[in-house]
Amino acid sequence: MERTFLMVKPDGVQRNLIGDIVSRFEQKGFKIVGAKLMTISKSLAQKHYAEHEGKPFFDQLVEFITSGPVFAMVWEGEKVISTARKMMGKTNPSTAEVGTIRGDYGMVTHRNIIHGSDSEESAEREISLFFNKEELIEYSKDV
Ligand code: CMP
């Protein structure tokens, strides 16, 4: 089953949006298999955003993501990577559709509330950067 890495960024945590964001993915039908509130070290941030190294906004990105706690999560489900991206909305919240997380709650690209893996390769890489195997729980949703 497909898995993705999602993270409520410091602005989302600060603005009390963890519950709403978790709720959206639960209501869609996805399964949460790992989650933790954590602060990100500079070196983890640099690894996580390695593909953006050298871009003009890289330092700001690292500074922002390490500026306060984040809520890191792993979600599981059919096509969860692409569907979560749709639910998040475009990177720039001012052009993200209303009804998406960024469209509803964000204003600017460098404070865009949530991160989500953009491919299977990124998901695998990001999950293993943030979580140990023991932190990911396999369970059934059937009662
Ligand atoms: P995220 O999904 O976490 O992945 C990379 C992040 O870089 C992105 O969200 C934005 O927060 C940030 N980003 C992308 N483009 C820009 C930009 N032009 N200026 C500032 N930040 C950016």
ipTM: 0.91
Q: How far apart are CA 66 and CA 15, in angstroms?
A: 16
For atom 12 of ligand 1, the residue with the nearest CA is 110
Q: How confident is the model at residue 142 (pLDDT cuts 50, 70, 90)?
A: confident
CA torsion through residues 12, 14, 17, 18, sign:
positive
Active site residue 110: no
Name all residues whose Cβ lies below 6 A of ligand 1: 52, 57, 61, 91, 109-110, 112, 115
Q: How far apart are CA 71 and CA 61, in angstroms?
A: 17
- Give the pLDDT of residue 29: 96
**pLDDT tens digit sequence for 17-48:** 999 999 999 999 999 999 999 999 999 999 99
- Give the pLDDT of residue 78: 97
* Sole residue written with tokens 């009804």: 99
**pLDDT tens digit sequence for 51-76:** 999 999 999 999 999 999 999 999 99
Task: Please state the domain extents for the chain.
Answer: 3-133
Q: Which residues pair with 32 in a beta bridge?
A: 75
Computed over every residue of the chain, the mean pLDDT equals 97
Residue 4: closest CA among 117, 100, 94, 83: 117
CA torsion through residues 71, 72, 78, 82, sign:
positive
User: What is the percent of the chain where pLDDT is above 70?
Assistant: 99
- Give the pLDDT of residue 138: 94
Judge whether 60 and 14 are in contact, CB under 8 Å.
no
Could you tell me the pTM of the whole model?
A: 0.96
Q: How far apart are CA 121 and CA 62, in angstroms?
A: 21
Is domain 3-133 given the CATH code 3.30.70.141 in the classification? yes
Coil, helix or strand for 89? Answer: coil
